[in-house]
């Protein structure tokens, strides 16, 4: 998507009778939210689906909940009100799974000069945060994984993702061993970042331009399934763009261009993570921008509160099988928090 959100989404149903919703399954947010039918802003004008609580016979108000304003900086903002209703998923093996869950109904607002929300095709998101929100706070949404655990739907505290061409899957509570090579396991502990960012951050040891190292130190790499691009620390991202677009002889390549033949002049990038190397071809990190006829590097500055942290989404995650593992922590909300990530190569 042009706004940097993931191009992948899942379908679920809210309320009774079920209202169709398309959502991103997002490791980069603490929120579980859906576009409200009350939203009449320009940012909501493109949404095919909106949740109408009046049409649901099972919607419940949350005692003490009030409308909240959530400021997301350059992305935009949204007003939200929490409520409870049934959320239904279709499981290929077990049929329909129905959960009683608290989530946010949202009224979206783009930041000045931005169309991020309007460009987002989905109507909502399901968060898989590192640390879950306090369950008793009326204005906080609940997260899918602990609800599934507490209601006995899944046996294990993990979520896994795979993308293969035009298809993909998100498995909450398990993995699909046919989708990855078990011999390529890369077990990664989470790294801590400044300001307690609730992100699945691991250590990125190095990025190589062909065989030339670009980093003078390891950095934090947040694996964000709700994103598409590399984005983060403006200083770090702008430095990487400069190094990637500078040929060994000093000639500069454009970061945005219309001639597709230029793609092959860009280098391969190798991400080194815990002694494992992951190679991105130029066509992996240079995407066409909608129907504009332009091509652009998928590296964009975004202030995430830490100068040593960048996020990456489908531009990298589409090429691996990823597993996000939680651990039991009695003092954590819902009794679980993020523990580690496993990356596998595909067979």
> What average pLDDT does this structure show over 232-239?
95
Residue 116 has pLDDT above 80, yes or no: no
For residue 4, name the pLDDT band (cuts at 50, 70, 90): low
Give the model's pLDDT for residue 201: 96
- CA 54/CA 105 separation, integer angstroms: 12
> What average pLDDT does this structure show over 282-295?
91
Token readout for 174 is 């398990």
Strands (E), 92-157: 95-110, 124-127
Percentage of the chain beyond pLDDT 70 is 96
> What average pLDDT does this structure show over 164-168?
78
Residue 315 has pLDDT above 90, yes or no: yes
Cross-strand bridge partners of residue 332: none
82-98 as b/e: b if 16+ CB within 10 A = bbbbbbbbeeeeeeebe
> What average pLDDT does this structure show over 263-286?
98
- Domains in the chain with CATH codes: 10-154 (2.40.70.10), 178-344 (2.40.70.10)
Give the model's pLDDT for residue 196: 64
pTM tops 0.85: yes
For residue 70, name the pLDDT band (cuts at 50, 70, 90): confident
Residue 239 has pLDDT above 90, yes or no: yes
């Amino acid at each position: 998507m042009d706004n940097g959100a993931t191009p992948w989404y899942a379908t679920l149903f809210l309320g009774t009778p079920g209202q169709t919703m398309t959502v991103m399954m997002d490791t980069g947010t603490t929120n579980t939210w859906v576009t409200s039918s009350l939203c009449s802003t320009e940012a909501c004008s493109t949404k095919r689906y909106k949740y109408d609580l009046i049409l649901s016979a099972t919607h419940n108000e949350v005692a003490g909940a009030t409308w909240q304003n959530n400021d997301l900086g350059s992305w935009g903002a949204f007003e939200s009100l929490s409520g409870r209703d049934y959320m239904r998923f279709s499981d290929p093996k077990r049929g329909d799974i129905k959960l009683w869950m608290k989530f946010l109904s949202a009224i979206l607002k783009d930041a000045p000069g931005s169309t991020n929300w309007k460009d987002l095709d989905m109507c909502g998101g399901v968060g898989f945060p590192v640390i879950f929100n306090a369950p008793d706070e009326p204005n906080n949404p609940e997260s899918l994984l602990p609800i599934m655990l507490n209601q006995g739907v899944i046996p294990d505290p993990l979520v896994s993702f795979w993308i293969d061409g035009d298809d993909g899957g998100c498995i909450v509570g398990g993995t699909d061993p046919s989708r990855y090579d078990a011999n390529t396991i890369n077990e990664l502990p989470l790294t801590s970042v400044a300001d307690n960012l609730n992100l699945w951050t691991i250590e990125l040891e190095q990025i190589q331009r062909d065989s030339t190292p670009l980093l003078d130190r390891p950095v934090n790499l947040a694996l964000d399934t709700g994103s598409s691009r590399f984005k983060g620390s403006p200083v770090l991202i702008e430095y990487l763009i400069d190094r990637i677009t500078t040929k060994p002889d000093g000639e500069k390549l454009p970061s945005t261009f219309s001639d597709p033949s230029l793609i092959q002049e860009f280098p391969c990038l190798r991400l080194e993570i815990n002694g494992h190397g992951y190679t991105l071809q130029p066509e992996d990190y240079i995407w066409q921008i909608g129907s504009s006829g332009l091509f652009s590097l998928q590296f964009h500055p975004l202030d995430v509160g830490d100068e040593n942290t960048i996020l990456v989404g489908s531009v990298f995650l589409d090429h691996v099988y990823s597993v996000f593992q939680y651990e039991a922590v009695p003092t954590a909300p819902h009794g679980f928090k993020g523990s580690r990530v496993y990356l596998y190569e595909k067979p």
